[in-house]
Amino acid sequence: MNTDRDQKRKSLFARYPHLRYSWLILLPLGFLWFPFDWLAQVWPVFGVPFRQVFHDAHDHFVGHSVFFFLIGTIILILVPALIRRPLWYLVGLILAALIQETIQAFFRGEIPTFTDFNAFKGDALGGTGAWLFCFLLLWLSTSFKQRKQQQPAPQKEGS
C-alpha cells in the first residue's frame, strides 16, 4: 500500500540527494535566525545575561561577528563545496543576514529597514572570517597531503 509513496520518496532522494541532508543546514540557520532579542524581552531569566553580553554597539558588533563565524564555519563544514564556490557562499551569507534582520524586526513589531549597518558589518566580518578559516584549513590539508605523497619511500637497509 505504501510502496508507491516509498518509491516516490526514494526516487526523489535519488534525483536530489542533497534533500536528504538539508535539515543539517536548516538546523544552524534556524539557530541563527532565532529571535534572541525577542526571547530576552519575554523571558527575563534569559534577558539578564543577554543584555550583559549585548549591552552596547561594540558588543553587538562582536556578538554578530562571533555568531556568524560559528554558524558559517558549521555550514562550511557541512557543505564543503561552498569553500570552492565563494560567490555562492557570499550570496548565502547576504541572504542569511537579511533574513535574520527581517525576523528580528518582525518580532519587534516593526517593518525591516536594514539600517543596522553595525550588525551587517559584524555579519560580514564573521561570515567572511569563517570562509577564510575553512579555506585555510582546506589549503593546509591539501598541501600537507601533496607533500606527503611527494616524499620518497624510505629505503630498507641491507637491500
pLDDT per residue over 90-109, tens digit each? 999 999 999 999 998 899 89
Q: Is the pLDDT of residue 22 over 70?
A: yes
Q: Is the pLDDT of residue 153 over 80?
A: no
Give CA–CA dist 52/98, Å, rounded.
25
The number of CA neighbours under 13 Å toward the Cβ of 42 is 7
Max Cα–Cα distance, the chain, nearest Å: 81
| Residue 56 CA to its chain's centroid (Å) | 25
Mean per-residue pLDDT over the chain, rounded: 87
Residue 59 corresponds to which cell in the numbers above? 558588543
For residues 33-44, average pLDDT: 92
In the chain, % helix, strand, coil (3-state, to 5) comes to 80, 0, 20
Handedness of CA 62, 122, 47, 29 (dihedral sign): negative
- Is residue 68 within 8 A of residue 130, CB to CB? The reply is yes
Percentage above 70 pLDDT, the chain: 86
